Amino acid sequence: MDYSRQVTPASELYARVEKLQHSLQKKDCDAALIVQKTDLFYFSGTSQQGWLYVPVEGAPLLMVFKEYERAVAESELHEVVSLVSPKKMPEALVERGYVLPKTIGMELDVLPANLYFQYDSIFKDSQIVDVSIDIRLIRAVKSDYELGIIGKACALSDKVAARVPELLKEGRTEVEVAGELEAYARSFGHQGIVRMRLFGSELFYGHLMSGPAAAVPSYLASPTGGEGVSGLIGQGAGFKKICKNEPILVDYVFALDGYISDHARIFAIGELPDELLEAHRAMLEIQEAASKLALPGVETGELYDQMIALAEKKGYGEKFMGVGERKIRFTGHGVGLELDEFPFIAKGQKLKLEAGMVIALEPKMIFPGVGVVGIENTHRVTDKGLERLHHLDDQIRFI
């Protein structure tokens, strides 16, 4: 079988492993065991079922349960072995000259409790410690290789959004239009699955929602929700028919070779009330101001506070990023292999921006019973502020 596709270069993988090893040294931790699919892909280049053992010094070992031959084809790591059971890990490590660790780091933010107890019994003489924050901080700053893929994903986001006017017609349902738009995205290599780290969070391509339906809140950590097609899904496009003179939100992710671009634009068939037009202009002004304020060294919580203050100054504080006590307390988020990466432009966050981070800024206004206006673009943090990676116009597109 031919598994040829984008392969992460060995130099990239080993540079990432080296960063993790430096982090392990600072924590006085002997090794890390990477299990979660996205982290496994990040450090090994494959998401096949298995375990990546990273000693504080020396070469990493990728142990694969299923599918070994595919993992060998996908991963540029030098040491890849087949393993029939996780219980065999200590034996496999000793056979290859590794000293079993006294402390072993794992991704405790996402590791299910039952698996934790399983690994605790497998490495019975080791103490398991959390290295999830360390891994996420490493992943937050993108390499030139990663930025190249994200840039391509952003260009495809623009292309998908530019297709929307051809599909929008009064009387069509949201889900009907969404299906055609998603098929179009798929034709350019969209991977379909949009990975998220937060427990219980999931997304299918994104959200296409019209008028009042876009302002329906949901469980998702997002200022918008949508009716969805069932109570189990509870978000996104539903069976509402698209009408004239209402805002249509197309908030889509393009996921290319694992990497994500996050992108939102507003469309309308006919006209929109002045209130919505003015609110949209205000969101663009907040985006522009934040782009200049977001310099390396600025705390993300401080940037959030400044964006909130701008919205309040313009008279939009009550409906900015949601309505009521459960409104979202962030105005942007990191993107990479997952949609909810560090950093978060969120209330109380102390993480400082660094050049090479990638952030989706999403100032949005929610008008219950009416709709949503606003914008979302993916940006790169540079020494001069945010560099926007999209080129499609931010203005509302009237049809």
- Give residue 250's pLDDT: 98
Copy the structure tokens of residue 118: 């399983």
Q: Average pLDDT of the chain?
A: 96
Q: Per DSSP, what are the bridge partners of residue 264?
A: 251, 376
Instruction: Give 127's pLDDT tier (boundaries 50, 70, 90).
Output: very high
Domains and CATH numbers, the chain: 10-139 (3.40.350.10), 141-398 (3.90.230.10)
Residue 2 scores a pLDDT above 80: no
Contacts of 278 (CB under 8 A, 6+ apart): none
pTM: 0.96
Q: What's the half-sphere exposure (Cβ side, CA atoms, 13 Å) at 163? A: 18
Would you say 160 and 185 are in contact if contact means Cβ atoms under 8 Å apart?
Answer: yes
Q: Can you tell me the mean pLDDT for 231-251?
A: 96
Express each pLDDT in 7-66 by its tens digit. Answer: 999 999 999 999 999 999 999 999 999 999 999 999 999 999 999 999 999 999 999 999
Candidates 354, 372, 352; CA nearest to 363 is 372
- Give residue 321's pLDDT: 97
Q: Can you tell me the mean pLDDT for 216-231?
A: 92
- Give residue 4's pLDDT: 47
Distance (Å, rounded) from C-alpha 398 to C-alpha 51? Answer: 51
Q: Can you tell me the mean pLDDT for 202-212?
A: 96
- Give residue 182's pLDDT: 98
Would you say 359 and 381 are in contact if contact means Cβ atoms under 8 Å apart?
Answer: yes
Ramachandran class of 306: left when φ > 0, alpha when ψ lies in -120 to 50, beta otherwise: alpha
For residues 52-75, one letter each, b for 16 or more C-beta atoms within 10 angstroms of the residue's C-beta and e for the rest, the string is bbbbbeeebbbbbbebbeebbbbb
Copy the structure tokens of residue 97: 């000259």
Would you say 185 and 156 are in contact if contact means Cβ atoms under 8 Å apart?
Answer: yes
| Amino acid symbol at 116 | Y
Torsion angle of C-alpha atoms 113, 119, 124, 130, degrees rounded to 10: -70
Instruction: Give 1's pLDDT tier (boundaries 50, 70, 90).
Output: very low
Would you say 42 and 143 are in contact if contact means Cβ atoms under 8 Å apart?
Answer: no
Distance (Å, rounded) from C-alpha 275 to C-alpha 283? Answer: 13
Would you say 377 and 360 are in contact if contact means Cβ atoms under 8 Å apart?
Answer: yes
- Give residue 5's pLDDT: 72
- Give residue 204's pLDDT: 93
Distance (Å, rounded) from C-alpha 176 to C-alpha 237? Answer: 9
